[in-house]
Amino acid sequence: MLGYLNEIKGPVRLKDRVAQPEYAGLQPEHALFETFLGMPICHRDERIGSICLVDKDGGPEFTDEDENIAAMFAARAASIIANARRYEAEHSAKADLETLLDISPMGVIVFDVRGGEVAYMNQELLRLIDTLEMPESSMDNVFEVLSFRRADGREVTYMDLPATRALQIGETVPAEEIVIQAPNGNAITTLLSAAPIFSESGEIVSVVSVVQDMTSLDDLDRKQVEFLAMVSEELRTPLISIKGSAAALKDIVESMVPTEPLQLLRIIDQQTDLMRSQLNSLIELTQFETGKLSVATESTDVAGLIHQSCGGFLRDHSAVTVQLDIPAGLPKILVDKQRMSQVLHNLLRQVANHSNESLPIKVAASKMGIHVAISLSVAGSFDRPADLPREAEHDAPPLLFKQIARSHDKFVDMASQGEGLAYSFCRGVIEAHGGRIGTEVDEQEGRLTMTFTLPSVEDADEIQLSAMPRIASEPMPAPTDKTQILVSIEEPELLRTVRRVLLDAGYGTVETFGLDEIEQLASSERPKLILLDIAGREEASFRALRAAGKPLNLPAIVFCDRDDEEYVVRAFEMGADGYMVKPFSPSELIARIRGTLRRSNAGGKPAGNRTFQLGEVAINFDERTVNVSGQPVQLTATEYKLLTELCNSAGRVLTQDMLLHKVWGPGYSGESQLLRSYIKSLRQKLRDNARKPTYIFTEHGVGYRMARP
């Protein structure tokens, strides 16, 4: 009977089952019964059980009403059983996921957005918290007592962490290096990433943050650098012995005049010199990595530097021809002459190794904004890899420089690759001077061009160049009209130095030590530019910059202690139009000021387009005002110029390099992160949705486009 009940979909009723219970599918010892009601339990056409009732109390048999009641109980039971099974499956999947996360080498933390609390922390994250040795009383509010700072030492609040930003912008925030410090002083270096989790309706329900402990990697990098430096120093001793022995033997052999032994000795001598040069470069590379390499810059004539370097190179490579193209009137450059001569010599030597000896190496120089660009062009038989972009970045050179130092674990390979080591050394020296290096391969003509930029010195003939805080002995040429510059520097000696430099150059100064008076002075004195020293007071400086610079559209140059990418991008995001790393020369400061003022003035009034109206956005270029839905919007000078360029080309796509060149200058080519930060800020101020834009559209892989009015 029970088997029959499982086969049919409807209920089963019996009123006279009194003997032989085994026919009902029950055990022989089961109690006897007379009446029976069986009701199947089904969920979505799936049989998941049955309800069986026997011997109705107070009645001879089960009725239709009893059957209806049993059917209701069966429906309720089906729902309960299905939910229980689903919960069991979800619980099992959650347990499997937690087991997987608990054995993960990275910390994982999940924040419940609705409840506003931590939903999950894996074992690795708990271990990281334990390493901070925090008191138990602090564990309840762990994220309130912890402090956070970036790798450059700048403190950030909990609201600036990747998890909070992922919640705010609804996008994945990639890896950011953050140092987490406990109140007792213990700290760990981590790499944080975060991503939001959306519900089916598109609402953010939780945020997942991944924490990677960087302590062991930092220790490994440091030990590798120290080991390489030690090995390089140790290898110098046998090289000196080989060099001395070869020189002594050469003197003996020369008196005997045998040709072949003399040639072998020359080879030993040349290869020893090459190894010594490579070891020196390797030692300097370790100094690049540890930040210990210093450069002593001075005003240098471009033509003289190139002629001297090429002349020294040609003395050792008589078969090579060098063709120079150096126009007259180039400004001088700020370089360490000895190191820059090494750079030119290394690049010439590596280019010559792959050039056609019948064709000359072309060396040219030209002015690019406040920089001077030096290029080396050569025709050769080198091949271009299929995955190399047409215009390589400075960290992606072509095949002839294929073994370039990208991390410490490739230094050993570099030691046997003179080309890669030489290029890495050149790149390090150029970047230490504040320049950039890039490559371009013309496949059709079979020509490679390497170009690097260096900061120039305007009016260098009238300037005695020195490092701050020493001052030029001769006054600089004054501008045609006296321009007021607001200077806020906390250090008295630096403030006096900058004041004298500006006065000698013909500028007027409005000065303050603190940050509280910046907004008032900017409004009352109406300066054309703000010079702000942010070192040691970053957050307060950025707040002052937003309060003073944005409402008046004043450009600003900030003085920094560091020049790493994250630090610089943060300064630009807060409204800076330029940055300078201390110490700097007076001439470099004046060149930066002039360049910033030129860019600010150039972006003021686009010819032939005094107003721009698109949707709720209205721009009056004559009055330099921007309104959204009738409300004024405050933009920085750089944001206004970027918006102007987009509006002038409304309907057309502007590449990233075009915008960077027009708004910031040629020296910022490739700084896509900087451009993205400003585009994001513009969209927020124009109330434009990045996912469904109305005004500024992203053309992926190309650039940006302003909608046509």
Contacts (Cβ under 8 Å, ≥6 apart) of 33? 17, 18, 21, 54, 55
- Same domain, residue pair 84 and 178: no
Q: Are 107 and 213 in contact (CB under 8 A)?
A: yes
Same domain, 314 and 449: yes
Question: Among 75, 99, 123, where does a domain finish?
Answer: 99
Write out residues in the chain with pLDDT < 50, as ranges: 383-418, 459-480, 604-609
197 and 134 part of one domain:
yes
Say what the pLDDT of residue 430 is.
84
pLDDT of 363 reads 92
| 82 and 13 co-located in one domain | yes
What pLDDT does 314 receive? 82
Per-residue model confidence (pLDDT) at position 393 = 39
Helix/strand/coil for 140: coil
Residues 254 and 271 in one domain: yes
Task: Report the candidate in 169, 150, 154, 193 with the shortest Cα–Cα distance to residue 677.
Answer: 169
| Six token digits for residue 605 | 């009034």
Q: Which residue matches tokens 């991008």? A: 569
Same-domain status, 309 and 450: yes
Are 619 and 611 in contact by the 8 Å Cβ rule? The answer is: yes
541 with 555, same domain: the answer is yes
By residue count, the chain amounts to: 709
d(CA 283, CA 326): 33
CATH at 481: 3.40.50.2300
Domain that holds residue 582: 461-602
* Rounded Cα–Cα distance for residues 349 and 320 (Å): 10
The CATH number assigned to the domain holding 650 equals 1.10.10.10
Rounded Cα–Cα distance for residues 652 and 646 (Å): 9
Whether 233 and 307 share a structural domain: no
Which CATH number belongs to the domain containing residue 446 in this structure? 3.30.565.10
- Beta strands (DSSP E) in 595-693 are 611-614, 617-620, 625-628, 631-632, 653-655
Q: 586 with 466, same domain?
A: yes
> Which residues does residue 581 pair with via DSSP β-bridges, in sequence order?
560
Q: What is the pLDDT of residue 410?
A: 36
Q: Total structural domains in the chain?
A: 6
Q: Residue 351: in which H helix or E strand, if any?
A: helix 337-353
Among 213, 240, 275, residue at a domain's last position:
213
Claim to verify: residue 451 and residue 466 sit in the same structural domain? no
Please identify, among 457, 473, 489, the residue that sits at the C-terminal boundary of a domain: 457
Residue 148 has what pLDDT? Answer: 86
User: For the domain that residue 134 is a member of, what is the CATH number?
Assistant: 3.30.450.20
Q: What is the pLDDT of residues 442-462, one digit of tens each?
A: 777 777 888 898 888 754 333
- Same structural domain, 18 and 64: yes
542 and 593, same structural domain?
Answer: yes
Helix, strand, or coil (residue 122): coil
pTM of the model: 0.34
pLDDT of res. 20: 52
pLDDT of residue 329: 84
Contact partners, residue 386, CB within 8 Å, separation at least 6:
none
